[in-house]
Amino acid sequence: MRINGNQIRPGMVLEHQGRLWRVAKISHTQPGKGGAYTQAEMKDIVSGTKLNERFRSSETVERARLEQVEMQYLYDDGMALNFMNTENYEQVALNYDMVGDLKVWLQENMMVQIEFYEDKAIGIELPEKIVMEITEAEATVKGQTQSSSFKPAVVENGETVMVPQFISSGEKIVINTTDGSYVERAK
């Protein structure tokens, strides 16, 4: 499916120069002279090489058609992450490069979207928000709960998340998986 250069968004997979690229970052620029363009930082899905490319709003680029299949995360075997289709019990192993930084937010039995291109798994999409328990947090100092300052807290997977002062160890919080930020207390 062809899209205009100004419709490119982070996370999209594009067919460009005969290869598949995942868009990492974009910035829209409108210079004083000439037409507006989108500067896209892309990463090759197969080799991992990066490319910075400019797309004018009048140019079109091919957006890859991906099939998304809901699968359940099973386990990490030390070399790859293993997922299972809950409808037909077919299993898929994704290497760490395909998952990238999202690996830290995977939880056992979590349902995720696996992206396929021409029957080959090429990526993963986690739920936007997950619930995790705080294992370590600094003690709350009386009077600081009203301020908007944040403190570091360690969640059950060992990652550090910045949380408000009123959050304490043992509480469950909601985390945004795209940037690893605190959203709210779990209800």
Q: Given pLDDT bands bounded at 50, 70 and 90, which one contains residue 183?
A: very high
Residues 119 and 147 in one domain: no
At 129-181, the pLDDT tens digits run 999 999 998 876 666 555 578 899 999 999 999 998 888 899 999 999 888 89
Residues 59 and 97 in one domain: no
Beta-sheet pairing, 19-29 with 67-76:
unpaired
Q: Given pLDDT bands bounded at 50, 70 and 90, which one contains residue 30?
A: confident
Residue 47 has pLDDT above 90, yes or no: no
Residue 96, φ and ψ in degrees, nearest 5: -60, -35
- The one-letter amino acid code at 28 reads H
DSSP track, 96-146: HHHHGGGGGG--TT-EEEEEEETTEEEEEE--SEEEEEEEEEPPPPTT-TT
Residues 151 and 178 in one domain: yes
Structural domain containing residue 150: 129-185
Domain boundary among 105, 125, 145: 125
Question: What secondary structure letter does DSSP report for 64?
Answer: P
CA distance 168 to 164: 9
Residue 58 has pLDDT above 60, yes or no: yes
Residue 154: the pLDDT is 94
At 64-80, the pLDDT tens digits run 888 889 999 999 998 89
42: domain CATH number is 2.30.30.30
Sign of CA dihedral 50, 48, 40, 62: positive
105: domain CATH number is 2.40.50.140
Domain boundary among 125, 154, 173: 125
Counting the structural domains of the chain, the total is 3
